[in-house]
Structure 1
């Protein structure tokens, strides 16, 4: 006679969920489509092109994911990219201080990142201290940040050739774009931050229930300020990558529309806009999907403008899946 009380319970198979796995399946479908119908898609050159273009989106979207995890939003990231992109050439072209290259190049990286991090702090102060809605608070620098970038160089296009700076956008160690390596580092660091640190758990707690987080003793304002600072840092780094790739900096173009790409990547990746969760792997997949959609359309003769329509459709689909696909 079998003792039912001691019998091992049957193991439950992992439950498939469109909300969780939809982005991965969409990415696989895009890869399969391009492998079948897009000429030269499997080449190293195509890989490098896509990785070069997607890396800034992913890096900005990492910061955006943390902001959205607190139930916030950051519209200023594109403008902060432009600020960093204008500051760096002013430093490494160095027509005033006359510093040696071993000092001026590090400063060209460090100063713009400090400035954009502080501008992110400004966003955080408006949100946390003055209780301004995030979409309104970050709209301030969405407008003013672009103006600051234009003032720095009088709105002129700045061209340059500085290999000691441009390695961040042009180097290919072992054939892999260096910005792709940076992209992976940002994603892995953010995953560690969310899963393994008290700060990361606090970010999710604030987004899940701000009142409960406050009553439990968390410094809600400090947490919000920090995530906006991280978002500013990510935007600044992405801006440096973009100008290094282009060998030029244009305050009117650097980071233009990046806030929409980053928000779309987060949405497609499955992080809810209500806060409380941060799906950073999903954000990476979402950015890859957005890039591959654009590449697929262009490579198959569809105008680039059509990618905007498809991108909007992807966001709508992602939000629908978050609401209705959990038990799919």
Structure 2
């Protein structure tokens, strides 16, 4: 009996890997903060906090949608291009270039709604392609990864759109009770996604589809509908992030909006502990992962390390996160 219990007991190495997977992101973030407090000048200032928070919010918003997609066993390469479409479309609306407006506030209201809905529709199209033709998600979303930025460039004729519209730019530059409004949006989205995954039937369906699609289908879960919905949500998140980016920059450049965002979002999900093979999801982990990636980049730049080196370090962090996932599963 004692021998059987010893055989069932987890090995110390397995326990250590499990703890590292569970608490590794929190530990890494804490170590980064302590390092910066000790060695980075002016780290413990509101200005530094604001800079890092501003740069991480859009990554987190996009990464939340990416978390849901990856939880179903998929991937979304189109989020950066969908950001570009939303960012290109919004100024055309509130500047009255698409149609005459009865009042400027009408254009601003429409500029908040229409681009996000359009991005969501393109996200749904991704899900439709994948489920209708049963193609791999990386191939299905590659279509809009390529064509989406082209659509944004066609909308603007490749021109930079400069504007100064405080009512619209509140989404990226405004504050409520001293807190950046985009940070409030980020926390609301993180909270809603966490609640949905833990407390709703839809959340359980997402994890079931990613864990074993065939079993989920046999148990009566509408697999196709679940996948189309998560890609729709990913598109909506990308559209919102695109509006925040152009609001901060006071300009929309279809060539640059969301460039490389798909990689940052996937990295945040991986570092946060969500399995890239599907079947699990931790939105709070994704938030931590995005904070770690941003803080690593800030730490290196603040200490005189070139941005190119920061990209290499980011790649190393992703490799480490994937290795830990594989060891934890084993």
Same fold (TM over 0.5): yes
| TM norm structure 1 | 0.94
In structure 1, distance between residues paired with 2:175 and 2:197: 30
Q: Which residue of 2 aligns with 1:209?
A: 212
Q: Which residue of 1 aligns with 2:85?
A: 83
Is the partner of 2:304 in helix, strand or coil?
Answer: coil
Q: Contact (CA 8 Å) 1:239, 1:254: kept in 2 or not?
A: yes
Gaps of 5+ in 2: 1-14
Q: Which residue of 2 aligns with 1:4?
A: none
Q: Which residue of 1 aligns with 2:225?
A: 222
Q: Which residue of 1 aligns with 2:45?
A: 43
Q: What stretches of structure 1 move > 4 A for 4+ residues in a row?
A: none
Is 1:254 paired with 2:257?
yes
In structure 2, distance between residues paired with 1:305 and 1:146: 24
Gaps of 5+ in 1: 1-13
Deviation at 1:189, TM superposition (A): 0.4
Structure 1 residues 49-95: Cα deviation after superposition (integer angstroms, max 9, x where no partner): 10100000000000000000000000000000000000000001114
In structure 2, distance between residues paired with 1:99 and 1:29: 54
Deviation at 1:274, TM superposition (A): 1.0
The number of residue pairs the alignment matches comes to 314
Is the partner of 1:276 in helix, strand or coil?
Answer: coil
Q: Which residue of 2 aligns with 1:141?
A: 144
In structure 2, distance between residues paired with 1:224 and 1:129: 11
Is the partner of 1:287 in helix, strand or coil?
Answer: helix
Deviation at 1:173, TM superposition (A): 1.9
In terms of mean alpha carbon deviation, does 90-99 or 304-313 score higher?
A: 90-99
| TM norm structure 2 | 0.93
Q: Contact (CA 8 Å) 1:18, 1:326: kept in 2 or not?
A: no
Structure 1 residues 138-158: Cα deviation after superposition (integer angstroms, max 9, x where no partner): 000000000000000011111
In structure 2, distance between residues paired with 1:223 and 1:251: 31
Deviation at 1:172, TM superposition (A): 2.0
Aligned-residue RMSD, C-alpha: 1.3
Is 1:59 paired with 2:61?
yes
Deviation at 1:304, TM superposition (A): 1.0
Q: Which residue of 2 aligns with 1:6?
A: none
Q: Which residue of 2 aligns with 1:290?
A: 293
Q: Which residue of 2 aligns with 1:192?
A: 195
Is 1:263 paired with 2:266?
yes
Q: Which residue of 1 aligns with 2:305?
A: 302
Deviation at 1:323, TM superposition (A): 2.1
